[in-house]
Structure 1
């Protein structure tokens, strides 16, 4: 699907960040997630701790009350004990029972009066109570709260039905226990011996207020969590603005670059951002600019190739057309020489054009190895001298120390680049001239220089001579012997090896040109 995209330059100001522009994306993501989780976890465990403290307080209070009431019953007159139990039970909203030495129940504060609490049947409660109980169970499961034993009112109410009462009588000190009422509320019981006899007092209470208070606190925390969720949503929108929106715009810009519909695609640069998005924006911008430059170079190269091929083709066509009309054998011989010359020129052009077109791709795939430039020059020296002898030119090579002029590269490509420089120097050298070659290491840099005694390179042309199809040949050289790609190939090769190539005057002040390749050296 093709996206309809309007990427304006003003997008850069809308995508820029202010106070958070220097935060790494990892820091933002961690901060937001940890913030929300910390509030959630803190609220849950705070509520569990609050319930635990409240329950412990109720249990301690029940233990204190049962001891005080047991002491009061011990000093009360027998005829007053039932009334006292009834009164204290009503005031404290608890149930009081006294068991005798035989384990039978002797007194009960509920006898003849209204119960101070009730045990509700959960099946008879409304649906919203079931939901509340489910929330209680989920909360207990999250915090790992212990599940107290369920309350089962004994069919025969005797001392042996209450372990805490037996423990209080046996140890002669108050004992407490927590059970779970049928509707899920805490059921607190406490027992204490009555005086120094064998009677024991049992106090029971359905502490429904604990659950009520906890649920109220949970509602409050629910509001807090709701606010937290809203804040998290807002923070997520902020995160989307700082991450998703810029990435989406960068992706759309890349998509438009791929489609190639616009000559200039405005890719947000985002210079104010120092995080990964900023790095990506700048990398994508640079990549787009590099791609645009490559396209321009390819278009210019195609135009230059067309222009360079037209000349020999036009000459070849003219010579071939004239052959049918020419009867003079000498003139026919001259036309055939023109045909051969043009065919040879086309062959050189096609070979050099093919090499230039695949040079970058091959260098990007080539595995570089250490190359000793001194050894490379020595391996080709004899061939150059044979070539230079035809023009009465000498070649001298200052051999470096073995292993000193070593660079990381491809032997065949470097040898072709050096060969192009030597061929260029031989071409411009006068009869009896000398071409001097030197290779050496200076600090961390390795250079190879070629000097000739020709006319030199004008200062204003020292950049242009490395352009493709730029050819300024000596007057005495036959036309068409060079394609004008030799120095361009040398430059592309050197730059593909991370080096640079320069054209300059000779350093000794004599007439002539000096070409120098410079590379980052490989440890000797």
Structure 2
């Protein structure tokens, strides 16, 4: 419960004219102090840990953005320099084709970054509409298979429609991010298992790849995953941004994303759990 002292302190902080970021951090600190004074040490410790993890994740996200954009622009600059010195018109034509592919990937990276930034800033607003989740997942799988060779995507979906109130666009992007991470970790191809189910009051969506290449550390949380991606890169490089967006999307939908290394079979699974919002029955005429 907010006390008079708490309210007065927040008003005084606001009157100082601090930047929005500084004010938000100080406000969070005041709220933590208020909780400590009210005598809830367990809750306080958990909230402090969540705040610290959230701050660390955002720092890692910014580092990933810097690396991904820097690498993409370096590649673009290199290709342009090579083409500027190429006297053979046929090789120049091939270079233009490669340059087009590079620009396509860069455009996708920038669009994903803009979208993730919108989630971070609160600019993205979630809609609620009637969505057949089974059909949506099947559609995203079909789109991936049209441009993939050497992969088999095996869906395990409900036998009939699974309708819920959800944001179709957000869930489609979430499915894409989970699929792309699994595909990226298995560059030689293989089978990717996709599961969708309703378990009590949750929707559970997961991708699993048993041929995924993982580092020896075998990260088991999104925080560990991003830290490994930044510090060692290697097999995980290129997966951090999509998994960070999936993690933030799950949070914004009131759920969570889990990462699990498959000990016996090998590989990795990414699982998102979000609350199930059932459609209201249509009124009788």
**TM-score with structure 2 setting the length:** 0.69
Measured at CA, do residues 344 and 515 of structure 1 come closer, stay the same or move farther in structure 2, by a change above 3 Å? same
Out of 406-415 and 306-315, give the one that drifted further: 306-315
Deviations 1:415-440 (Å, cap 9, x if unpaired)? 11112222332343476722222222
Q: Please show how residues 50-449 of structure 1 align to structure 2 within 5 Å.
A: 243=4, 247-256=7-16, 258-259=18-19, 265=26, 267=30, 269-271=33-35, 297=58, 301=61, 304-329=64-89, 332-333=92-93, 335-337=95-97, 339-360=99-120, 361-363=122-124, 365-388=125-148, 390-391=149-150, 393-402=151-160, 407-429=164-186, 433-449=190-206
Rounded to whole Å, the distance in 1 between the matches of 2:69 and 2:272 is 30
Deviations 1:102-127 (Å, cap 9, x if unpaired)? xxxxxxxxxxxxxxxxxxxxxxxxxx
Measured at CA, do residues 511 and 349 of structure 1 come closer, stay the same or move farther in structure 2, by a change above 3 Å? same
Is there any run of 5+ residues in structure 1 with no aligned partner, and where?
Answer: 1-23, 26-241, 279-285
Question: 1:494, CA displacement in angstroms?
Answer: 1.5
When the two structures are aligned, how many residues end up with a matched partner?
Answer: 265
Alignment equivalent of 2:250, drawn from 483, 491, 494:
494
Deviations 1:314-333 (Å, cap 9, x if unpaired)? 33334434444443456645
Q: Is the 8 A contact 2:156 2:196 kept in 1?
A: yes
**TM-score with structure 1 setting the length:** 0.41
Higher relative contact order (CA 8 A, sep 6+): 2
Q: Is the 8 A contact 2:60 2:227 kept in 1?
A: no
- Asked if 1:510 corresponds to 2:265, the answer is yes
Deviations 1:141-161 (Å, cap 9, x if unpaired)? xxxxxxxxxxxxxxxxxxxxx
The residue number in structure 2 matching 1:455 is: 212
SS at 2:147 equivalent:
helix
Q: Is the 8 A contact 1:345 1:483 kept in 2?
A: no
Measured at CA, do residues 461 and 295 of structure 1 come closer, stay the same or move farther in structure 2, by a change above 3 Å? closer
Larger radius of gyration: 1
Q: Aligned Cα RMSD in Å?
A: 4.5
Rounded to whole Å, the distance in 1 between the matches of 2:57 and 2:276 is 33
Q: Is the 8 A contact 1:406 1:521 kept in 2?
A: no
Rounded to whole Å, the distance in 1 between the matches of 2:165 and 2:228 is 29
Q: Is the 8 A contact 2:65 2:241 kept in 1?
A: no
Question: 1:413, CA displacement in angstroms?
Answer: 0.9
Measured at CA, do residues 457 and 444 of structure 1 come closer, stay the same or move farther in structure 2, by a change above 3 Å? farther
